[in-house]
Structure 1
Amino acid sequence: MRAAVVAAVLALAASLVAVVALVLYIDAEDDALAACNVGGPGIRVELAGAELAEINGYGGVQLANAAAIINAGADLGLSVRDQTIGVMTAMGESSLQVLDHGDLAGPDSRGLFQQRDNGAWGTYEERMDPTASATMFFEKLAAVADRGLLPPTIVAHRVQVNADPYHYERYWRDAVAVVNGLAGEDLAALAASAGPSPCSALSVGAVTAEGWTSPILGNVRYSSAFGQRVHPITGQLTLHSGADLAAPDGHPIYAAADGIVTVAGPSSGGNSGYMVAVDHGGGVQSRYVHPWPSGILVRVGDVVTAGQQIARVGSSGNSTGPHLHFEIRVGGIPVEPIRFLADRGVELPGTRRATVAAAG
């Protein structure tokens, strides 16, 4: 009897350990995913009477300004990732200093975020006030579509409209260090948000040495492969000349490599609705099919760079729902796009098994 009781207790203890381990695993995963989740928890920093040690070259008033930015984000209920984007942006604009001057591009720019006197950024006093200027920045940041799926520098660019969308990228690690330091804890989710895993949007967003990148980011669904198939609308057996990636209507589409736009409108024949085509030279062309007319963001003749947004996901033409139909053509002939990108170091989101199969 006693042996049976002991065995039952041990079994219960083992199950509790398993439950605790599962909870810890889920919590750790949730912490990491918080960097990709716009609704993740923010933080608040209290500096009253605190001695501020220098963090990555930033100290004193700069850190006090960073704290004001963080707390402005907290007041709006934003995530720690959003708050860190705010700190990163102010680093890139003013080195976390309240500047009472602009530059040649914006002589009327003022404050931590170099906000201009154009009616969009409040009064002079508001632009020169750390909390007020950060609040104005965050109010515009909160309106950025899919910001949880975008690299931090692109989110900042959508608000600031800097001439270089990647200007802020160099400040991200310092911003993470400053937020960690002011919070007094290691916010591991921040580090995850700038690079590989678990944010699929950010693990596929880099431009490879060959100059290629993913045309779409985020938690999209690989819905149809390249090759012969029965068309879901016509019922005919035809060549599906690209890969389909289902995504929300309006989701960003990016140029897969540098090139020149050769089509930005109706597709040939019209059955595929609207599309963008980019000539990359050497007989290589990429195609981005099914955006709505209003979702085409470039014109024929435009020079685009790898990672530049060129369209938004739609469902024009013969389509069963919003998705990107992505094609690669070499010498005018469609080729398997997943394998083509994989050979250049790029993995389309949601296609890992397909990539392995294509390489086999």
Structure 2
Amino acid sequence: MRTHSADNIAPKTPLPALYALALCVLAAVVAASGCTGFGSTPVCMAGAKLGPRGKCQTQRAPLHHIPFREGFKTKVMQGFHGYLSHKEDLAFSIDYRCKEGTPITASKSGRVWAIREDSDKGCPDPSCVEDANYVILDHGDGTYSEYYHLRELGALVEPGEQVCAGQVIGLCGNTGFSSGPHLHFALTDSTRHTVPVRIWEARERGYGFVVPETEYTSENKIRAQCRDRGFSQIPKEAFAHHGVILDGELPAVIDDPDQSHLVQGTYHGDHPNIAIHRKLIDGGSWIDECVPVDEDGEFSARIKWPTKRFEAGTYWFMITGADKDCLAPGWAWSYKVQVWE
């Protein structure tokens, strides 16, 4: 059981011409279910990505293993669109039963994107929603597997570490919004909304989707070696719904805050500027930079993440058009960027 309480939306907000702070009034939790394709944009529906000439290309739901050691038996307590808490952006989540301290394994090989293990609090009330411990793996293809409700000190990997499928990454617990020990598992896309995931152990029972209140036995063998695909990138078409098409991908993990990153592309709207928006998820105000657009709609700027202005943490990131006064249209969600020390 897991729900969101943080928001990543921004109303139409005045922005100064260069590197200004703008207070964003946060509203209700985003009510969009996992409706974007992997590594794509909100232009396409679930299970599709934006291809050449604006065509949404469908693709099969990724195949993952049950995230427990080989031979472990677990029951699905809540599946896709579960009545209790698997709704809206968490619609394609799975709750697996496990005892406190049960080893949790990577459902697929990837890199550790984020962890938390300092919480000792859990309760069957939404007031505990921000208290869950977790591990998040980046699979390098625009998808992320998330493992929530781990016990205190129950994250057994470090950010940036390469892990192979079947490797132990954490311990089952009861932190956060939880009524008892279990693992909340979900696959998310580059907008961090859940997307459908097929489970290897359920492939003989239909399409590979697990069934609520059904027991499965893990076949998740540990891999001694696995391919390192690196971290996922923010795709060129990520901001197409705001008329912004980038010339290249942008990093979703900043491991060198002093390194500059080229933000270059073409804007297809009527505004004279584009605006680059960044905000620390856990607090603070939006930090916005306006970049002029030339008569052909082209723009170019280099951005950094200096530690004096961007402390280590997870940030919301968005690019929109902006008018002559640097007033930007509002938006309903943002991409996540991880900044490391």
The normalised TM-score by structure 2 is 0.35
**Per chain length, whose mean CA-contact separation is higher, i.e. which structure has more relative contact order (CA < 8 Å, sep 6+)?**
2
Q: Which structure carries more strand by proportion?
A: 2
Structure with greater Cα Rg: 1
